[in-house]
């Protein structure tokens, strides 16, 4: 049996990952492609608890090293319990964020050594790498606008990481672009400032061979 394909979506906050993942799931459903969709951090009981600890403002905020290790703990659990078993059964896996987010946010954003994070990522992932990574690229001002609009529409507030400041988020964006330049065969960079339909059209162009 052929192994499933592992697809990750990356990008800054509000880039449209969840929106595009929903479109991909709908298309896979249409063609009866077997897949699962997961998000990081999350997808397991341990991962959802780590997510709560990482995002909740009311808690004592983790120091940068603790933040890194919480993301990695959530990933290790998700990879071993959910992602690898699915891929081995020939099921495609779509993940909303994965190891590149840790390099971008905790490495380029927080300033922890990116080579050290790459090694720790390998441990957490059991050396699993995505087959395709869709990087949704938007300028920061577009991202901010979308986030404010969503907060107003859903009556929610920005979380701890979203509020890390514009310099931080610019470093994260630059980090993602460096990662994409270093691995052009894996990364598919899409201009995510376009309309939802146009972004989807670009994403689908690169993934339609999977159905
Ligand atoms: N993080 C980390 O630091 N290290 C790690 O290793 C990992 C993660 C794995 C997870 O938060 C946080 O953890 C994240 C990175 C960090 N923090 N930040 N910042 P999350 O899972 O809650 O949030 P997120 O991953 O950042 O996703 P998001 O904010 O939900 O955004 P999104 O999924 O990319 O976008 P969306 O929900 O599809 O769209 C956002 C809004 O824009 C929404 O109202 C849409 O209707 C709208 N939208 C979407 N596309 C468009 C287009 N094309 N035009 C106009 N409007 C659009």
117-167 pLDDT, tens digit per residue, is: 999 999 999 999 999 999 999 998 999 899 889 888 888 887 777 777 889
For ligand 1, whether the C-beta of 17 sits within 6 Å is yes
What is the reported pLDDT for 9?
98
Model confidence at 58: pLDDT above 80: no
Q: Which residue has the tokens 């992602």?
A: 83
DSSP 164: G
For ligand 1, whether the C-beta of 101 sits within 6 Å is yes
Q: Do 93 and 25 meet the contact criterion of CB atoms below 8 Å apart? A: no
Of 8, 10, 12, 14, best ligand 1 pocket probe by most atoms within 8 Å of the beta carbon: 14
Task: Give residue 45's pLDDT band: very low, low, confident or very high (50, 70, 90).
Answer: very high
Q: Determine the atom of ligand 1 nearest the C-alpha atom of 72.
A: 6
Q: Which burial class, exposed, middle or buried, applies to 197 when counting CB atoms under 10 A from its CB (0-12, 13-18, 19+)?
A: exposed
Q: Do 62 and 94 meet the contact criterion of CB atoms below 8 Å apart? A: no
For ligand 1, whether the C-beta of 15 sits within 6 Å is yes
How high is the mean pLDDT of the chain?
95
- Residue from 146, 141, 133, 139 nearest 14 by CA: 146
- Residue from 13, 8, 9, 12 nearest 173 by CA: 12
For ligand 1, whether the C-beta of 108 sits within 6 Å is no
Residue 204 CA, ligand 1 centroid: distance in Å? 19
Rounded Cα distance, 94 and 129, in Å:
12
Over range 95-117, report the average pLDDT: 98
Task: Give residue 96's pLDDT band: very low, low, confident or very high (50, 70, 90).
Answer: very high
What is the reported pLDDT for 57?
67
Does the CA dihedral 174-147-77-79 come out positive or negative?
A: negative
Strand 92-96: give its sheet, edge to edge: 35-39, 92-96, 6-11, 132-137, 187-191
């Amino acid at each position: 049996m052929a192994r499933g394909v592992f697809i990750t979506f990356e990008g800054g906050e509000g880039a449209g990952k969840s929106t595009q993942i929903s479109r991909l799931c709908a298309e896979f459903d249409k063609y009866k492609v077997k897949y699962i969709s997961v998000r990081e951090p999350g997808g397991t009981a341990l991962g959802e608890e780590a997510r709560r600890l990482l995002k909740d403002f009311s808690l004592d905020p983790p120091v940068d090293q603790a933040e890194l290790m919480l993301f990695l703990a959530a990933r290790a659990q998700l990879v071993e319990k959910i992602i690898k078993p699915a891929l081995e059964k020939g099921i495609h896996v779509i993940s909303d964020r994965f190891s590149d987010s840790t390099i971008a946010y905790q490495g380029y954003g927080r300033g922890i050594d990116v080579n050290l994070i790459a090694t720790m990522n390998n441990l957490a992932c059991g050396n699993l790498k995505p087959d395709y990574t869709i990087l949704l690229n938007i300028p920061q001002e577009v991202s901010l606008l979308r986030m404010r609009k969503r907060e107003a529409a859903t009556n929610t507030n920005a979380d701890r990481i979203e509020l890390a400041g514009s310099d931080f988020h610019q470093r994260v964006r630059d980090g993602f672009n460096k990662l994409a330049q270093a691995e052009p065969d894996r990364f598919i960079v899409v201009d995510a400032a376009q309309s939802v339909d146009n972004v989807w059209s670009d994403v689908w162009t690169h993934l339609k061979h999977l159905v």
